[in-house]
């Protein structure tokens, strides 16, 4: 566990997610959960040594299984954006570890079996404030990686958890993304208002302003490429050429090349299909 500033910690030993925790006099504000129930129980045990008050709350940065599969095992109130709550209302009550390969990290965890989801019990639309100590913790709606993505902002401490807005040395998840909103969010992070901040990614921990700029450049490149073909039917051959090109942006170990290629393949095809259907519908109207 790494202490970022006093009473704010991160942990990156679990696959697929960098966890956060804020220690307050009222209790622990936890950010995301390990993907497996066993990992969640291990994390809960580690948190017992941090002190703070008796209450517990868990914030989901979005609905991705890598950060929500273990939420029920955290055994506390879950908070997320209202669009994430809507996603959970349409999901079956139990997750089964099978189906399409998306290139996510949970897919490599053996023995997951069936896991019961923990839908958010508290949701918000634009912003929510937690006053559990002397300084506020702000939950802010920042769509991009998904329409319900949020940031956890501690303005006094100048620390901000940015979820999947920036991923360190790995490709983004594009299937449910809104690239235009994502680019707007990244522009915001590069604004003078965030000078001197510590930025914490949900996939890679502390990231620099140069990493934010690099993420912006990558997404702008993807957006421009896909935007040109928005009116055309999804073309798997074109997607495969894009994957080969995009993999050169990451210094990925050989063992993860196949996974990262599948993540891009799944994301690009689904994004491209959604774009095409939206464009076709607009033309019909």
User: What is the DSSP track for 204-226?
Assistant: TEEE-HHHHHHHHHHHHHHHHHH
Query: Given phi > 0 = left and psi -120 to 50 = alpha, else beta, which region is 99?
Result: left
Report whether 35 contacts 109 (CB < 8 A): yes
Confidence of residue 279 (pLDDT cuts 50, 70, 90): low
Q: Which pLDDT belongs to residue 113?
A: 76
Rounded CA-CA distance 91/167 in Å is 26
Q: Which pLDDT belongs to residue 92?
A: 81
Choice between 273 and 278, residue whose per-residue pLDDT is larger = 273
Structural element, H or E, at residue 30: strand 27-31
Choice between 3 and 282, residue whose per-residue pLDDT is larger = 3
For 85, the 3-state DSSP assignment is: helix
What are the φ and ψ backbone dihedral angles of 223, each rounded to 5 degrees? -60, -45
Q: Is the dihedral of CA 255, 34, 14, 143 positive or negative?
A: positive
Residue 223's nearest CA partner among 182, 165, 276, 168 is: 182
Choice between 228 and 245, residue whose per-residue pLDDT is larger = 245
For 266, the 3-state DSSP assignment is: helix
Copy the structure tokens of residue 280. 């076709």
Report whether 242 contacts 225 (CB < 8 A): yes
Confidence of residue 277 (pLDDT cuts 50, 70, 90): low
Residue 21's nearest CA partner among 48, 125, 70 is: 48
Partners of 201 in the β-ladder? 163, 205
Rounded CA-CA distance 83/187 in Å is 23
Name the residue with tokens 């956890």.
152
Q: Which pLDDT belongs to residue 97?
A: 65
**Looking at residues 168-188, what average pLDDT do you find?**
94
| pTM exceeding 0.85 | yes
Over residues 91-143, the pLDDT tens digits come to 887 777 666 789 999 998 887 878 888 899 999 999 999 999 999 999 999 99
Q: Which of 144-153, 190-199, 215-224, 228-237 has the lowest mean pLDDT?
A: 228-237
What residues have CB less than 8 Å from 143, skipping those under 6 apart?
A: 149, 178, 181, 182, 185
**Looking at residues 64-81, what average pLDDT do you find?**
94
Residue 176's nearest CA partner among 151, 145, 143 is: 145
**Looking at residues 168-194, what average pLDDT do you find?**
94
Q: Which pLDDT belongs to residue 283?
A: 46
Average pLDDT, the chain: 90
Share of the chain above pLDDT 90, in %: 72
Q: What is the CATH code for 2-228?
A: 3.60.15.10
Q: How many CA atoms lie within 13 A of 3 on its CB side?
A: 6
Q: Which pLDDT belongs to residue 234?
A: 64
Query: Given phi > 0 = left and psi -120 to 50 = alpha, else beta, which region is 163?
Result: left
Biggest CA-to-CA distance, the chain? 60
């Amino acid at each position: 566990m790494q202490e970022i500033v006093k009473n704010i910690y991160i942990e990156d030993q679990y696959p697929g997610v960098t966890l956060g925790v804020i220690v307050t006099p009222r209790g622990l504000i936890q950010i995301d959960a390990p993907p497996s129930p066993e990992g969640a129980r291990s994390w809960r045990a580690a948190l017992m040594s941090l002190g703070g008050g008796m209450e517990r709350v868990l914030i989901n940065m979005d609905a991705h299984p890598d950060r929500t599969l273990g939420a029920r095992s955290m055994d506390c109130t879950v908070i997320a954006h209202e669009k994430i709550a809507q996603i959970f209302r349409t999901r079956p009550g139990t997750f089964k570890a099978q189906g399409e390969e998306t290139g996510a990290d949970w897919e490599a965890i053996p023995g997951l079996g069936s896991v019961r989801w923990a839908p958010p019990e508290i949701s918000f639309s634009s912003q929510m404030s937690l006053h559990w100590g002397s300084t506020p913790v702000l939950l802010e709606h920042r769509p991009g990686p998904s329409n319900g993505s949020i940031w956890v902002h501690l303005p006094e401490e100048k620390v901000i958890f940015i979820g999947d807005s920036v991923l360190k040395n790995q490709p983004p998840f594009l299937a449910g993304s809104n690239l235009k909103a994502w680019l707007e969010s990244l522009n915001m992070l590069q604004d003078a208002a965030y000078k001197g901040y510590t930025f914490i990614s949900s996939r890679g921990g502390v990231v620099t302003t140069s990493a934010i700029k690099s993420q912006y450049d990558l997404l702008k490149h993807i957006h421009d490429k896909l935007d040109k073909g928005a009116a055309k039917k999804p073309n798997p051959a074109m997607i495969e050429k894009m994957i080969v090109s995009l993999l050169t942006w990451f210094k990925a170990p050989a063992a993860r090349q196949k996974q990262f290629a599948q993540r891009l393949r799944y994301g690009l095809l689904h994004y491209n299909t959604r774009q095409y259907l939206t464009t076709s519908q607009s033309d019909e109207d």
